[in-house]
Chains A and B, each alone.
Chain A
Amino acid sequence: MIHFAEPIFLWLLLLIPLSWYLSRRLRLIAWGRRAAIVTVRTLLLLVLVLGLARMEIRWESRDLAVLFLLDRSDSIPAELQTEQGNLLKALSGRAGVRDETGVIAFGEKPSIETPATRTFDYEGQILSEVNGERTDLSAALRLALAAFPSDRMRRIVVMSDGNENLGSAVEVARVARNGGVAVDVIPMNYEARNDVQLEKIVVPQRTSKDAPFDIKIYTSAEKETPALLRVYEDGNVIIEERVTVRPGRNAPLTVSRRLSEGGFHTYTATIEAEGDLRPQNNRGSGFTYLKSEPRVLLVEGGMAESARYLAGALRAENIAVEIGGPGEIPTSFDRMQRYDSIILSNVPADAMSVAQMRLLERAVHDLGIGLIMIGGENSFGAGGYQDTPVELALPVSMDIKQKKMLPNGALVLVLHTCEMPSGNDWAREIALASLNVLSAQDYFGINYLGMGASGRGGWGEEWLWDAPIQLVGDKRAMRTAIKGVTPLDAPSFDSLMKLAADELVPIKAQTKHIVVISDGDPAPPSQAVVQKIRDAGITVSGVAIFPHDPSTVESLRHMATWGAGNFYFPKTGAELPRIFTKEATVVRKSLIREETFTPRFGAPSEMLLGFAAVPDMNGYVITTVKDLATEALSTGFDDPLLVHWRYGLGKTVAFTSDAKDKWATNWVAWGSFSKIWSQMVRWSLREANSPNFQVNTEIVGGTGKVTIDAVDDGGNFLNFIDFDASVIDPEFKSVPLDVRQVAPGRYEANFPATRVGTYMLSMATGEESPTGSPQFLTSGVALSYSPEYETSQTNTEFLKKIAEAAGGKFVEGGVANYNPYLRDLAPSRRPLEMWPWLLLLGVMLLPMDVFFRRVYVNWGEAMGWLGEKFLGMIPRRAPAEYDARMASLRAAKTRATRDKEEEKAERDARAAFRDRLSDTESRGQGESVFGASQDADTAARGQKQAKPTDADPPMPGAPPPGGMASLMEAKKRAQQRRKK
């Protein structure tokens, strides 16, 4: 019941007997008062010591809380989910009045649907959204343990098919048991239904031109099923035929193919059967690579025909070129793998998603694909590439540091994002997307209805940073501040836009731009504010997102109309960062410099071999050369024109002017135009895959396995190769691979492969490896469906293990006899910390202690007085001896008072005498000091003796009355002097 957290302090209880011992000196005090003092003091000490020892009282609770853990992963089909709901309804209905019920839904991550509550009532729907691609029961159990109210008996009821593919639930179940939490398990059993599965597709990693090769497709089923098989090559159907899938794993279906076009080719197979339990596990993909002539993708962001100059030049030099618009930029690795170099000519950053840019950057870094960016009004910084993955890959930076004065812009974002799902996250994302585009010399401000800087003191229109609109400068501080942006629901744009206009007007910037994002619900700005913004030449764009109904977006459309800006109405939040990148570039057009210049040669470069001079150019985009990059040509205004470097396995080139009839009119007419561009492009091409390596990759049970066989040209094993290898997962994250030699010429590596999508491998050998010069190798493997769909069986053994580990029940054969609310658990103990109360008691006892020691209360009289005063009682007569004692005490007091009065008189007399003495001295009468003093003394004594009994005869030696009069006079004089 009672427990001490710091029992060592209990030794201080010894102070109590000590205090009793010391209280002996109080023996003169009346018994009752002494008892009170000792008691209070003892209590005080006791309370303080118990408080120091952190006394806790533990209550036993027999109340019960039950948390239901519902497996909502993809392996639970819809009908099983319905059954889960029915079970939940039935079981939660068995709760008693005092029982609490809660629900947690889980897949990859758990989510609390309803915290434990007494009023739980299942409404027939689970609203929590969980990622169903994984099952992590352990995370759900951990959340449940954390979410339980501490003062109750606790039970977890798991409803799952037991197909765990993340974490280890058994361990957490043991933890639960130790914590006194019971875990019962209700298995979710699949109906006996057929599942046809495409287990894998095997394609040779490499092939030769026009050589036949086999594609093998492995299928399985529970029972014999007719099915339709389709095989696609690079997205086109090549086979469509009816097959019969037999029970168990089937012999592979084989398709023979031959290829003539070089590059990477993707094969996808699908199998369809009627009444299939899981259609999700019916597809698979594989790649093959055919070595070929270099192939270049030229992406033209401007007019399509303006690509003809460059394309013509490259073709003239026998480089295969594909021309495309920004929509042609590959969105997957296998598509990107078809090219050896990609040229972006005047392509704005917003033409690509962030994921696409990351893909491109990774493709350069890890797959060795070349990248060339050519200038234009939508390239480099003017195209919004600042702080993008593409900028990372390029040899120039979009931030302009060396210039002292730059034409700059000012951007204000007005945020009202709270009405959209995850609105505040989006607010941060778009603020970052805009900030990324801006340079250090631009002005940036974000305003919204916020919580106030202090968090209290009221919400209102606020700016994100201290100065409303601030020079971007070092972006780190702004990035940190952006993390804290939490826009609330603004009722109107009026005050927000008025603030924006007020702050923008005095700023010295070339372009001033406001972007408003909202669901369109707030009231539009007033006419006065509209006029002010228009008068100041500020442009306004409107972004409508997740409106209640389409008509609410009108106010934003209207805003973009009078504000001479753009209006956007994206369907999803995913488009927002791109929109804000584009809008932010409105203030960045100042980076374009259109003046004629003669390019100057810089560092020697193999790209310019054979050239000593190049024609004049008419314009370019201002950038900054990165450290370690080679600046082959500069513009003559101290800005880079042609810069290149190696980036990972790939090579990238920045050409800040263009290759068409705008800035390069002299170049396109120049005889060496083809030669110089083909040299640049050839330099950037990817290195060919090494013929010395044979790679095999497959994914088994969430792990990717890579096997490399290395032989030299003579067929001998290559040993002790040091591979620098990495794998890029479907989210374009690069994971380094630990490649180990396991046999002569054979190497292996593993990587986690739990996400659905393509995994690209890239490997390079070092300079010192037995292959001599560095060798490159790329390969890929796809995980076509989530492991949730791999099995169609309930993992009963696993579920039993969970129940066993946690000491709970495994509920088999229906729940008719199962009641999760049975009080068959150990009662929970709830500790109640006592020290705050003990401290309070101590504070109360302390003045009592002081009171009893310092204040004497005659309780009899006090009561009497109280009775007389308030109850009209006649005071009780005191006994006679008491009266007598009181009388003598009063007499003693009178005497003491009289003595005091006499002393005072004597003091007065002495003072008077001293006064007189000083008077006589000043008059020059040589009276003896001692004599005078004696006189005064005698006078004082006479007075003293004379006072009590006036009738006494004068004492011998008393001064004559005249002396007295003179004394009195002296006193008066002294008093007068003092007054002066």
Chain B
Amino acid sequence: MAQSSLIPHPSSLLFISVFAILLLASCGRDKSQSNYGGAVAIGHAGRQPGQFTKPRALAITAAGEIAVIDRSGRVQFFEAESGEFIRQWRLAEYSNGTPTGMSVDPVNDSLWIADTHYSRILNYNKEGELLFSFGVNGEGPGQMIFPTDAVPDPDGHTLWVTEYGRANRIMRFTREGVFEKEWGSPVYESDELLRPMALSVSPDGKSLYVVDAGNHRIVVYDREGNVLRRFGHLGKDWGAMKYPLDMAMAADGSVFVLEYETARISHHSPDGKFLGSWGEPGKKLGQLFLPWGIAVGPGGEMVIADTNNQRLQLLRNPVRFFRGEAPGGVASAVAESVASLFDSAGSTQ
């Protein structure tokens, strides 16, 4: 009897609980404004340190620094943990256009930059000192016109370069710039490979994942250039992609593919199985506007060059925000906002 008077009336109870949920939701919404999709933004448009004019190529160093090149030719560094600006320096030349690809050398934590519009590969240390550069403009073996990515192999001496001048090709150099091998298909003649835009080496070093942007797919080669498999096709469904421009390899060998036109990151297992997707077109956090670059850091954090939104987006724990269902459902939105609530509670800045 005493207990029944405690719980006064079912309708009142319902009313109060709805009210409490509203209250909670409004708090949650407020937080998710700055933390939508689990992402935080770094920088905005401008020419000052920490600001961007269309950031494009990026990489995360072993020390947890995000390096990013924007159209002003600056290489800026940010703390991946806090998103704080650290330092910046400028490329020697950038008026023709800025690089599209940059990777970190696991050996000495230096940066390998594919200087796309100057037909060369640059190797800088983090302080902006040019250690080494090579590249001859041309169509012959070992020459290049538009290099798109330069990836140091974990073996410590190989350097992989993708290029699309007169031939869409993948080239193998030593870190000293000595040409070893190449394969690919000539431009205007074959559609086998159309614009290889990025390359990643699997953790075991045995396979190369190449972004075949024009064919909307990923091609996996062995180290000699034999095709092991292909995955992805043109489309907007899960598992399909539209103009992938960059990719990042997670420590477990799964790949994150950045899609330019569909403005999302899709996650695939090493054998090409679709695991999930993040992002949609737009200007809010968690949305992307014609993005160009992606990198995954040693701590599993992911950073995206949200190029036309003039910022980077950083996900500290990316996979939990990836979805495998059709977007737009109420359930997924609720799940997402609840997840973001917990995430913001967990990581107090």
Cα–Cα, bound, A558→B16 (Å): 71
Cα–Cα, bound, A452→B213 (Å): 21
Question: Do A551 and B49 contact each other (CB < 8 Å), given the known contacts A861-B5, A865-B3?
Answer: no
Question: Do A456 and B213 contact each other (CB < 8 Å), given the known contacts A488-B290, A549-B117, A551-B145?
Answer: no
A666 at interface (Cβ–Cβ under 8 A)? Answer: no
A477 at interface (Cβ–Cβ under 8 A)? Answer: no
Set of chain B residues within 8 Å of A458, measured between Cβ atoms: 236, 261-263, 280-281
B55 at interface (Cβ–Cβ under 8 A)? Answer: no
Residue of B nearest to A855 (CB): B8
> Is A527 touching B190 in the complex (CB atoms < 8 A)?
yes
Cα–Cα, bound, A851→B13 (Å): 9
Q: What is the minimal beta-carbon distance from B114 to any residue of chain A, in angstroms?
A: 14
A523 at interface (Cβ–Cβ under 8 A)? Answer: yes
Set of chain A residues within 8 Å of B263, measured between Cβ atoms: 458-459
B187 at interface (Cβ–Cβ under 8 A)? Answer: yes
Which of B15, B137, B187, B214 has the most CB atoms of chain A within a 10 A radius of its CB?
A: B214
Q: What is the minimal beta-carbon distance from B228 to any residue of chain A, in angstroms?
A: 23
Cα–Cα, bound, A114→B51 (Å): 12
> Is B16 touching A549 in the complex (CB atoms < 8 A)?
no
Cα–Cα, bound, A526→B187 (Å): 9
B256 at interface (Cβ–Cβ under 8 A)? Answer: no
Residue of B nearest to A529 (CB): B191
Question: Do A491 and B245 contact each other (CB < 8 Å), given the known contacts A449-B261, A861-B5?
Answer: yes
Q: What is the minimal beta-carbon distance from B188 to any residue of chain A, in angstroms?
A: 6
B282 at interface (Cβ–Cβ under 8 A)? Answer: yes
A interface residue count range (under 10 / 10 to 19 / 20 to 34 / 35 or more): 35 or more
Q: What is the minimal beta-carbon distance from B283 to any residue of chain A, in angstroms?
A: 9
Residue of B nearest to A854 (CB): B12
Q: What is the minimal beta-carbon distance from A260 to any residue of chain B, in angstroms?
A: 54
> Is A523 touching B2 in the complex (CB atoms < 8 A)?
no
> Is A862 touching B6 in the complex (CB atoms < 8 A)?
yes
Cα–Cα, bound, A316→B5 (Å): 120
B interface residue count range (under 10 / 10 to 19 / 20 to 34 / 35 or more): 35 or more
> Is B9 touching A492 in the complex (CB atoms < 8 A)?
no
Question: Interface majority SS on B: helix, strand, loop or mixed?
Answer: loop
Cα–Cα, bound, A858→B3 (Å): 10
Set of chain A residues within 8 Å of B49, measured between Cβ atoms: 119, 121
A78 at interface (Cβ–Cβ under 8 A)? Answer: no
> Is B48 touching A119 in the complex (CB atoms < 8 A)?
yes
A717 at interface (Cβ–Cβ under 8 A)? Answer: no
Cα–Cα, bound, A389→B164 (Å): 45
> Is A117 touching B97 in the complex (CB atoms < 8 A)?
no
Q: What is the minimal beta-carbon distance from B147 to any residue of chain A, in angstroms?
A: 13
Q: What is the minimal beta-carbon distance from B286 to any residue of chain A, in angstroms?
A: 13
B155 at interface (Cβ–Cβ under 8 A)? Answer: no
Set of chain A residues within 8 Å of B290, measured between Cβ atoms: 459, 488-489
Question: Do A549 and B96 contact each other (CB < 8 Å), given the known contacts A119-B48, A119-B49?
Answer: yes
Cα–Cα, bound, A457→B8 (Å): 47
> Is B243 touching A492 in the complex (CB atoms < 8 A)?
yes
Set of chain B residues within 8 Å of A854, measured between Cβ atoms: 9, 12
B204 at interface (Cβ–Cβ under 8 A)? Answer: no
Set of chain A residues within 8 Å of B12, measured between Cβ atoms: 850-851, 854-855
Contact of A459 among B191, B194, B261 (CB under 8 A): B261
Q: What is the minimal beta-carbon distance from A725 to any residue of chain B, in angstroms?
A: 50
What is the 8 Å Cβ interface bit string for chain A, positions 505-537, against chain B (1 contact, 0 not)? 000000000000000000110111000000000
Cα–Cα, bound, A123→B195 (Å): 37
> Is B165 touching A551 in the complex (CB atoms < 8 A)?
yes
Residue of B nearest to A458 (CB): B281
> Is A457 touching B281 in the complex (CB atoms < 8 A)?
yes
Q: What is the minimal beta-carbon distance from B289 to any residue of chain A, in angstroms?
A: 8
Set of chain B residues within 8 Å of A526, measured between Cβ atoms: 191, 194, 214
**A-facing residues in B156-197 (Cβ within 8 Å):** 164-165, 187-191, 194-195
B47 at interface (Cβ–Cβ under 8 A)? Answer: yes
A312 at interface (Cβ–Cβ under 8 A)? Answer: no
Cα–Cα, bound, A488→B146 (Å): 21
Set of chain B residues within 8 Å of A491, measured between Cβ atoms: 195, 213-214, 243, 245, 260-261
What is the 8 Å Cβ interface bit string for chain B, positions 4-43, against chain A (1 contact, 0 not)? 0110110010011001000100100000000000000000
Contact of A524 among B50, B117, B187 (CB under 8 A): B187
Residue of A nearest to B195 (CB): A523
Set of chain A residues within 8 Å of B280, measured between Cβ atoms: 458
> Is B195 touching A847 in the complex (CB atoms < 8 A)?
no
**A-facing residues in B130-153 (Cβ within 8 Å):** 137, 145-146
A857 at interface (Cβ–Cβ under 8 A)? Answer: yes
Q: What is the minimal beta-carbon distance from B55 to any residue of chain A, in angstroms?
A: 14
Residue of A nearest to B243 (CB): A491
Question: Do A847 and B190 contact each other (CB < 8 Å), given the known contacts A119-B49, A458-B281, A492-B243?
Answer: no
Q: What is the minimal beta-carbon distance from B84 to any residue of chain A, in angstroms?
A: 12
> Is A523 touching B213 in the complex (CB atoms < 8 A)?
yes
> Is B243 touching A121 in the complex (CB atoms < 8 A)?
no
Set of chain A residues within 8 Å of B16, measured between Cβ atoms: 847, 851
Q: What is the minimal beta-carbon distance from A849 to any residue of chain B, in angstroms?
A: 12
Contact of B189 among A123, A527, A551 (CB under 8 A): A527
Residue of B nearest to A456 (CB): B282
What is the 8 Å Cβ interface bit string for chain A, positions 478-505, against chain B (1 contact, 0 not)? 0000000000110110100000000000
What is the 8 Å Cβ interface bit string for chain A, positions 427-460, against chain B (1 contact, 0 not)? 0000000000000000000000100100011111
Question: Do A456 and B15 contact each other (CB < 8 Å), given the known contacts A527-B190, A865-B6?
Answer: no
Set of chain A residues within 8 Å of B117, measured between Cβ atoms: 548-549
Cα–Cα, bound, A778→B311 (Å): 59
A21 at interface (Cβ–Cβ under 8 A)? Answer: no
Contact of A494 among B6, B46, B190, B194 (CB under 8 A): B194
Q: What is the minimal beta-carbon distance from A93 to any residue of chain B, in angstroms?
A: 15
A127 at interface (Cβ–Cβ under 8 A)? Answer: yes
A120 at interface (Cβ–Cβ under 8 A)? Answer: yes
What is the 8 Å Cβ interface bit string for chain A, positions 93-136, against chain B (1 contact, 0 not)? 00000000000000000000010010111010001000000000
Set of chain B residues within 8 Å of A548, measured between Cβ atoms: 96-97, 117
> Is A456 touching B5 in the complex (CB atoms < 8 A)?
no
Cα–Cα, bound, A524→B47 (Å): 33
Contact of A858 among B5, B146, B213 (CB under 8 A): B5
**A-facing residues in B87-140 (Cβ within 8 Å):** 96-97, 117, 137
Question: Do A528 and B194 contact each other (CB < 8 Å), given the known contacts A119-B49, A491-B213, A548-B97?
Answer: no
A844 at interface (Cβ–Cβ under 8 A)? Answer: yes
Question: Do A123 and B47 contact each other (CB < 8 Å), given the known contacts A452-B281, A456-B282, A851-B16?
Answer: yes
> Is B3 touching A523 in the complex (CB atoms < 8 A)?
no
> Is A523 touching B214 in the complex (CB atoms < 8 A)?
yes
> Is B15 touching A850 in the complex (CB atoms < 8 A)?
yes
Residue of A nearest to B26 (CB): A840
Cα–Cα, bound, A114→B46 (Å): 8
Set of chain B residues within 8 Å of A492, measured between Cβ atoms: 194-195, 213-214, 243
A856 at interface (Cβ–Cβ under 8 A)? Answer: yes
Cα–Cα, bound, A27→B5 (Å): 22
Cα–Cα, bound, A277→B195 (Å): 55
Set of chain B residues within 8 Å of A488, measured between Cβ atoms: 290, 308
Cα–Cα, bound, A444→B152 (Å): 49
The 25 listed contacts between A and B (C-beta, < 8 Å) are A119-B49, A119-B50, A120-B48, A127-B47, A452-B281, A459-B261, A488-B290, A491-B214, A492-B214, A523-B194, A523-B213, A523-B214, A526-B191, A527-B191, A549-B117, A551-B145, A552-B146, A555-B187, A850-B12, A854-B9, A855-B9, A856-B8, A858-B2, A861-B5, A864-B2
- Residues on A lying within 8 angstroms of B by beta carbon are 114, 117, 119-121, 123, 127, 449, 452, 456-460, 488-489, 491-492, 494, 523-524, 526-528, 548-549, 551-552, 555, 558, 840, 844, 847, 850-851, 854-858, 861-862, 864-865
Starting from the known contacts A523-B214, A851-B12, A865-B2, 16 additional A-B residue pairs (CB-CB under 8 Å) come to A114-B47, A121-B48, A127-B47, A460-B261, A488-B308, A489-B290, A524-B187, A528-B191, A549-B96, A551-B165, A840-B26, A850-B15, A851-B16, A856-B8, A862-B6, A865-B6
**Which 6 pairs across A and B sit closest by C-beta, in order of nearness?**
A548-B97, A855-B8, A458-B281, A491-B243, A526-B191, A523-B195
